[in-house]
Amino acid sequence: MTTTAQRTYNPGKGVGEPVGIAILGHGTVGREVVRLMHEYSEDFTQRIGGPLELKGVAVSDKEKHRGTLAEDLLTDDAMSLIERDDVDLVVEVIGGIDYPRKLVLAALKAGKSVITANKALVAAHAAELSEAADAANVDLYFEAAVAAAIPVVGPLRRSLAGDQIESVSGIVNGTTNFILDAMDSTGANYDDMLAEATALGYAEADPTADVEGYDAASKAAILASLAFHTRVTADDVYCEGITNITSQDIEAAKKAGYTIKLLAICEKLTDAEGKKSISARVHPTLIPREHPLASVSKSFNAIFVEAEAAGRLMFYGNGAGGNPTASAVLGDIVGAARNKVHGGRAPGDSTYANLPIADFGEVPTRYHIDMEVIDRTGVLAEIASRFSAEGISLRTVRQEEAGENARLIVVTHTALESDLARTVSQLQESEIVKSVNSVIRLEGE
């Protein structure tokens, strides 16, 4: 279809040397990457300026993958594959932390650029990996680690590199969004919707990393690092999952005009003295139903960026799955391979701002508190005055039921997390509150 004259990337440069690729892992993502590399090899050659050549795929058990790939491409010796002279780029799609860390470090030290889709690895060991990449003057790409095919790592590193980012927040875990969305639309409870997510393949057999928010916390760490030019690891991220969200919470939220989403929130904070710090947190969050993130349904992801000059931006799409993740990995392969053929290096790690991570207690938040109170005149006023005594002003206090089951729903204005938490725990112990049904933070108003 293409003529020789068109087979040039940059006029006069011709088609360059082949770029050798090693892929570590042959699961859903790895297989899609191999398939698409093969199916569109001509396009890759043109876009890169030289052909991509798959040199091998490392798996832990060759028997398991026999027949899925040419015999001579499969190996169970990842380290030897990485070290081959004809391998220029190493793609890590194994998952886990310790083993891929060893392999990625070995690849970088051997002078190979690395593309990884591994959020947990990047969120835990970015400093070590970046240093190794810098020392060897090679690339470390990880677009697929956050929100799969939705371009967000690249835009934060490049397109928005001239702006001052104030916050990055959004829905970065498809599994929990699927569950919460299903609870919201059907009224079903958490356990049933988790079971449905598992049956449909949206949740893994062990859903802990998703439902406890750890996966989102890794992504929050990566986003905060990029946005604020500061090293943020998963350990710096306050994290609360969705396992305690009940159908009653969802119902109450709905009634009050909210929906509950698991948000990753990364903010630059400025205190009264002008001192800047960073908050990165993941927790169930009430947002108004007319907020753009409220309409993000099923397993979709969406990321909001607020920047000084750009204003508010949103990126939306498939945040998980073999194909979308492969799309992001392949985009990174093209980038790293172009640099191999044409010279140059992608912008590396940027942590110069080195802002402190705010203690979670010092972060301004808002609470939505659902509690059962004793049946006594003046209980509403008494509760309001307890908040007021702690310097917390209330936006609304709503009595839902009366009598024996008197239920109060309190929505606060913004206050320090520690003040809010202390007040709620004091109320919990007071004689006027029978029980606190739920405490959910609120954003986006």
In angstroms, what is the minimal distance from the CB of 306 to its own copies? 10
Residues 161-180 that bind its own copies (CB under 8 A): 161-164
Partners of 167 in beta bridges: 267, 306
As given in the structure block, the two tokens for residue 21 are: 């690729």
Q: Residues 6 or more apart from 251 whose CB is under 8 A from it?
A: 187
Asked whether residue 306 is marked as a ligand-binding residue, the answer is no
| Per-residue contact flags (x/-) with its own copies for residues 38 to 77, judged by CB under 8 A | --x--xx-xx------------------------------
For the beta carbon of residue 159, count every other beta carbon within 10 angstroms: 12
Report the residue from 110, 136, 313, 379 that binds its own copies according to the rule CB under 8 A: 313
Report the residue from 175, 277, 318, 438 that binds its own copies according to the rule CB under 8 A: 318
In angstroms, what is the minimal distance from the CB of 59 to its own copies? 22
The active-site residue out of 112, 219, 268, 340 is: 219
Using an 8 Å Cβ cutoff, are 316 and 169 in contact?
A: no
Report the residue from 117, 150, 171, 179 that binds its own copies according to the rule CB under 8 A: 150
d(CA 279, CA 422): 20
274 binds its own copies (CB under 8 A): no
Report the residue from 95, 331, 361, 364 that binds its own copies according to the rule CB under 8 A: 331
Count of residues that interact with its own copies, criterion CB under 8 A: 72
Residue 239 or residue 326: which is nearer to its own copies going by CB? Answer: 326
Residue 155 or residue 288: which is nearer to its own copies going by CB? Answer: 155
In angstroms, what is the minimal distance from the CB of 129 to its own copies? 13
258 binds its own copies (CB under 8 A): no
Cα dihedral sign, 421-236-120-338: positive
Q: Which residue has the tokens 């371009």?
A: 151
Residues 349-388 that bind its own copies (CB under 8 A): 350-354
- Do strands 364-365 and 415-416 pair parallel, antiparallel, or not at all (unpaired)? antiparallel
Residues 2-31 that bind its own copies (CB under 8 A): 2, 6-12
- List strand residue ranges (DSSP E) for 106-189, in order: 113-116, 140-141, 165-171
Report the residue from 69, 107, 262, 333 that binds its own copies according to the rule CB under 8 A: 333
| Residue 40: burial class (beta carbons within 10 Å; 0-12, 13-18, 19+) | middle
Report the residue from 75, 189, 323, 428 that binds its own copies according to the rule CB under 8 A: 323
Report the residue from 95, 317, 361, 364 that binds its own copies according to the rule CB under 8 A: 317
Residues 383-412 that bind its own copies (CB under 8 A): none
Using an 8 Å Cβ cutoff, are 340 and 113 in contact?
A: yes
In angstroms, what is the minimal distance from the CB of 417 to its own copies? 26
In angstroms, what is the minimal distance from the CB of 359 to its own copies? 20
Helix 119-136 × helix 214-228 angle, to 10°: 40
Report the residue from 53, 134, 390, 400 that binds its own copies according to the rule CB under 8 A: 134
The answer for 412, left when phi > 0, alpha when psi is -120 to 50, beta otherwise, is: beta
Give catalytic status of residue 13 as yes or no: no
Residue 7 or residue 395: which is nearer to its own copies going by CB? Answer: 7
In angstroms, what is the minimal distance from the CB of 185 to its own copies? 15
**C-alpha triplet 131, 134, 136: angle, nearest 5°:** 110
Residues 99-128 that bind its own copies (CB under 8 A): none
- Do strands 258-270 and 276-288 pair parallel, antiparallel, or not at all (unpaired)? antiparallel
For the beta carbon of residue 157, count every other beta carbon within 10 angstroms: 18
288 binds its own copies (CB under 8 A): no
Asked whether residue 261 is marked as a ligand-binding residue, the answer is no
What is the secondary structure of 364-391 as a DSSP string?
EE-EEEEEEE-S-TTHHHHHHHHHHHTT
Catalytic residues: 219
The annotated binding site is made up of 119, 204
